[in-house]
């Protein structure tokens, strides 16, 4: 039967598939729109499975929520190009809103989007449409009933939530910005695990022993270097990013507040990226792999 341009257009709008794929699906299903959609969905799932093993270390961190409950979600893809795609962005933002109501990626994947489809089904269709592995990787919540939660997202790649006592949202956001920039490992010295302190001290003692100085001098050297190290890895010990003459600890103390907690997600951290040959990658895409 003859397939009209209007039919192809409708199928493209309903599935997001390419023009030639839509026309082929309509031809194979004798113009039956619903069957063609099912056909493309099955084809999309096959493509998604094929791409699921590829490294997805790019993407975005998206924030949703308010001053009392906020969430960060990391959604990965293979290239920065797809991370900026409007379809990817729209999917990520809608998923982030749903993440406010769940505590795990599995639960988030089972949630339904406004389209009526599950997050997982939509993700797989997006894989087929954009041609890259796309994965929901992590989510993190911060809530407070006796303070505020502020967020800061830098370039879509680093997201931070910071909870403080008091009601100064702007200050809490400045602290979130600081965490994004300097990436402290801990909130305060009291939060550093004793075993981590002991390990660092052992390293410093070994280094100082090589100086040949007397034990009492070595002890002072180690103490000073250990305190410096702890200041560098803790939020309250670091110089404030907007005013290096004051530490974050002194800043919040002067404002009469306390940092309760923070969480920081950076796109792709901890994922081992593959070193790719650009020419080979172009050939691979040309073959449709």
Cα(71)–Cα(219) distance, integer angstroms? 45
CB-neighbour burial class of residue 151 (10 A; exposed 0-12, middle 13-18, buried 19+) = buried
Which CATH code is given to the segment(s) 5-51? 1.10.8.10
Neighbouring C-beta atoms of residue 234, cutoff 10 Å: 21
Domain extents for the chain?
Answer: 5-51, 52-143
Output the pTM of the full model: 0.76
Task: Tell me the two tokens of residue 63.
Answer: 């924030």
- pLDDT tens string, the chain, 289 residues long: the values are 788 988 888 877 676 666 777 888 899 899 988 888 777 766 664 455 556 567 778 999 999 999 999 999 999 999 999 999 999 999 999 999 999 999 999 999 999 999 999 999 999 889 988 888 899 999 999 999 999 999 999 999 999 999 999 999 999 999 999 999 999 999 999 999 999 999 999 989 888 887 778 888 888 889 999 999 999 999 999 999 999 999 999 999 999 999 999 999 999 998 876 554 545 555 555 555 5
Which CATH code is given to the segment(s) 52-143? 3.30.479.20
Domains 5-51 and 52-143 in one fold: no
Alpha carbon 268 to chain centroid, angstroms: 7
Neighbouring C-beta atoms of residue 227, cutoff 10 Å: 12
Cα(75)–Cα(133) distance, integer angstroms? 11
């Amino acid at each position: 039967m003859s397939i009209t341009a209007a039919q192809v257009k409708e199928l493209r709008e309903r599935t997001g598939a390419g023009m030639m794929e839509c026309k082929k699906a309509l031809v194979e299903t004798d113009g039956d729109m619903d069957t063609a959609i099912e056909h493309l969905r099955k084809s999309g799932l096959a493509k998604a499975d094929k791409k699921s093993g590829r490294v997805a270390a790019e993407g975005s961190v998206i924030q949703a929520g308010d001053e009392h409950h906020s969430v960060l979600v990391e959604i990965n893809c293979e290239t920065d190009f797809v991370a900026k795609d409007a379809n990817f962005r729209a999917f990520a933002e809608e998923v982030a809103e749903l993440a406010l109501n769940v505590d795990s990626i599995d639960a988030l994947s089972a949630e339904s989007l406004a389209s009526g489809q599950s997050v997982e089904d939509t993700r797989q269709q997006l894989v087929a449409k954009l041609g890259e592995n796309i994965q929901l990787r992590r989510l993190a919540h911060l809530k407070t009933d006796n303070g505020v939660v502020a967020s800061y997202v830098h370039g879509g790649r680093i997201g931070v939530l910071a909870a403080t006592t008091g009601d100064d949202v702007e200050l809490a956001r400045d602290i979130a910005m600081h965490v994004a920039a300097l990436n402290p490992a801990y909130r305060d010295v009291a939060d550093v695990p004793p075993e981590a302190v002991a390990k660092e001290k052992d390293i410093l003692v070994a280094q100082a022993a090589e100086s040949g100085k007397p034990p009492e001098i070595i002890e002072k050297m180690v103490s000073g270097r250990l305190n410096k190290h702890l200041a560098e890895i803790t939020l309250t010990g670091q110089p404030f990013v907007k005013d290096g003459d004051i530490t974050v600890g002194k800043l919040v103390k002067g404002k009469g507040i306390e940092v309760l907690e923070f969480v920081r997600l950076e796109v792709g951290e901890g994922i081992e990226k593959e070193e790719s040959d650009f020419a080979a990658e172009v050939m691979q895409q040309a073959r449709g792999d």
